[in-house]
Structure 1
Amino acid sequence: MGVSVVPIAVFTIFWAIVGIVLPFVVPKGPNRGIFQVVLMLTAATCWLFWLCCYMAQMNPLIGPRLSNHTVLLIAREWGDPLKTG
């Protein structure tokens, strides 16, 4: 799996709207500053979490664990039988 620009761009634009545009739309009130900070921090942390999860799938550190029987069965079914013994 390689890098695709489309999902990165879509999610970056979405979280940029949440973190940059929406704080300007918060209605005036005594807690306006808190709501603005909450929106900005939420956008930043959610985007960073999503990016880390997306990048972790590109080159996983742990692969599937297969038993010897499963490996031999897969090799036989794919037409490249392994020599045992």
Structure 2
Amino acid sequence: MAADYTIMIGFTVFWGIIGIVLPIFAPKGPNRGILQLVLMLTAATCWLFWLCCYMAQMNPLIGPKLDNKTILLIAKEWDLNPRE
């Protein structure tokens, strides 16, 4: 599980730098506030999207587990000819 934490911390630091540190260095001008907001929102949404994808892979949703008798019955009823 240590690798999971290092990946999570690494990506959090990466997007934290983009969302917290880079807005500080935005060039001065009339649109500086908008540029800072864009950087912060981009970092927050990209991090959240990455987190959702990462967590979905940790605990994937799988289909129902059917035993062999049920699968054969379904195949017979649907004319799939599993063992002919």
* Same fold, judged at TM 0.5 (above): yes
Q: Tell me which residue corresponds to 2:72.
A: none
Q: CA separation in 2, counterparts of 1:37 and 1:27?
A: 13
- Determine helix, strand or coil for the equivalent of 1:57: helix
- After superposing on structure 2, the runs of 4+ consecutive aligned residues of structure 1 that deviate more than 3 Å are none
Is the Cα–Cα contact under 8 Å of residues 2 and 58 in structure 1 kept in the other structure? Answer: no
Structure 2, unmatched stretches of 5+, are: 69-84
- Bigger relative CO (Cα 8 Å, ≥ 6 apart): 1
Is the Cα–Cα contact under 8 Å of residues 3 and 58 in structure 1 kept in the other structure? Answer: no
Q: Tell me which residue corresponds to 1:58.
A: 58
- Determine helix, strand or coil for the equivalent of 2:6: helix
TM-score (norm 1): 0.69
- AA aligned to 2:62 is I
TM-score (norm 2): 0.70
User: How many residues are matched?
Assistant: 67
CA RMSD between the two structures: 2.5
Q: Tell me which residue corresponds to 2:73.
A: none
Q: Tell me which residue corresponds to 1:10.
A: 10
- Determine helix, strand or coil for the equivalent of 1:5: helix
